[in-house]
């Protein structure tokens, strides 16, 4: 009897040690992936976004214009955490009630969106380009992937209305993480002056994108990637204030009834092209979808500049006048 009890105790100690070790490894994995995904800094899997102007660039003219144009510097506090946020504002060439809020991608900044700013300015819009939390000149400890930022975007929208009046007509536009930010913002209560959205290659949800990247970058099978992402989600909730599963473009789009244009590159492997179809189905307002042949991630404008501007302008002409 005593031997049997000793064996049982030994077995429980052994199982407890194994479970404890696995738990430590699981939490350590979450901490590692949190640092990779949520802490700003150099990311080896992201190509450098230096702003060297090259005449061979299909968007050289637009980027050169943005480099040279005079910009107003706007500053405000974030909707939470009291971070100092910075944006560039470029008024339209002629007084206009039309404004666009442009959101950049992961580890980018407002300067990387210069070609889009030129496009909208040519279309007669006032242009506002913020640096998201923890990006560019804006303060912030962690990256929010559009989820906490959606309330920052609403504050920027109110600043545009304050600047240009109650008759303002506002469009929100974003690429990659900025596209997801646009979709997530569409799901909250917004001023009636917001007339339409344009999102380019945004993900369906942060959790889905993290699962995809874990498999792409680390070649982790789903049976490993999903528990690792779950651990990251817990760490993110403690440090960053939300579970990764909360940050959902799809769930937000279910609450959106405003017009939205969805753009995605047909050759996008970073945010898989299939995600745009899920996003498109989710929104509840007027919508259009354009999948750009041969375009890689965030390269649709560069791949076909004239057609890109024509698509955006024709869509917005239905809702912004």
Length of the chain (residues): 321
Domain range for 270 is 56-205+247-316
Structural domains in the chain (count): 1
pTM: 0.91
Residue 299 within a domain: yes
Q: How far apart are CA 64 and CA 24, in angstroms?
A: 51
In a domain, 148, yes or no: yes
Higher pLDDT, residue 6 or 138: 138
In a domain, residue 9? The reply is no
Query: Would residue 129 count as lying in a domain?
Result: yes
Rounded (10°) angle between helices 305-316 and 114-122 = 50
Question: What are the pLDDT digits (tens) for 96-126?
Answer: 999 999 999 999 999 999 999 999 999 999 9
**Residue 254 covered by a domain:** yes
CATH, residue 104: 3.40.50.1820
Q: Say yes or no to pLDDT of 278 above 70.
A: yes
Asked whether residue 231 is assigned to any structural domain, the reply reads no
Q: Residue 198: phi, psi to the nearest 5? A: -130, 120
Indicate whether 276 belongs to any domain: yes
Whole-number average pLDDT of the chain: 92
User: Is residue 75 domain-resident?
Assistant: yes
Q: What percent of the chain has pLDDT over 90?
A: 76
Q: Which percentage of the chain shows pLDDT scores above 70?
A: 92
pLDDT at 2: 61
The arithmetic mean of pLDDT across residues 206-231, rounded, is 83
> Which range among 50-59, 70-79, 80-89, 165-174 shows the weakest confidence by mean pLDDT?
50-59
Which stretch, 29-38, 46-55, 113-122, has highest mean pLDDT?
Answer: 113-122
Pseudo-torsion of CA 311, 108, 294, 264, nearest 10°? -50
What pLDDT was estimated at residue 247? 97
Q: Are 134 and 112 in contact (CB under 8 A)?
A: no
């Amino acid at each position: 009897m005593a031997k049997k009890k000793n064996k049982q105790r030994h077995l429980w100690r052994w199982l407890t040690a194994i479970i404890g070790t696995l738990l430590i490894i699981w939490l350590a994995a979450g901490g590692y992936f949190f640092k990779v995904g949520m802490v700003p800094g150099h990311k080896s899997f992201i190509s450098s976004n230096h702003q060297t102007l090259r005449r061979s660039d299909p968007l050289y003219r637009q980027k050169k214009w943005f480099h040279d144009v005079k910009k107003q510097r706007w500053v405000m506090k974030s909707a939470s955490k009291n971070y100092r946020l910075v944006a560039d504002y470029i008024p339209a060439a002629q007084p206009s009630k039309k404004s666009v809020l442009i959101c950049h991608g992961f580890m980018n900044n407002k300067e990387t969106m210069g070609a889009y700013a030129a496009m909208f300015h040519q279309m007669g819009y006032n242009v506002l380009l913020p640096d998201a939390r923890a990006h560019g000149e804006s303060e912030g400890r962690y990256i929010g992937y559009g989820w906490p930022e959606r309330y920052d975007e609403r504050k920027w929208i109110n600043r545009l209305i304050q600047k240009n009046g109650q008759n303002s007509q506002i469009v929100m536009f974003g690429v990659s993480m900025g596209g997801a930010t646009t979709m997530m913002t569409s799901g909250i209560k917004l001023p009636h002056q917001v007339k339409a959205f344009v999102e380019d290659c945004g993900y369906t949800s942060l959790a889905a994108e993290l699962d995809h990247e874990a498999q792409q970058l680390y070649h982790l099978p789903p049976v490993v990637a999903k528990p690792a992402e779950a651990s990251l989600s817990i760490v993110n909730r403690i440090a960053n204030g939300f579970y990764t599963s909360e940050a959902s473009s799809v769930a937000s789009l279910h609450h959106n009834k405003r017009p939205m244009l969805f753009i995605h590159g047909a050759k996008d492997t970073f945010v898989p092209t299939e995600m745009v179809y899920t996003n498109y189905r989710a929104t509840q307002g007027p919508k259009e979808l354009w999948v750009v042949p041969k375009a890689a991630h965030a390269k649709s404008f560069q791949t076909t500049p004239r057609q890109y501007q024509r698509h955006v302008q024709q869509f917005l002409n239905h809702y912004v006048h």
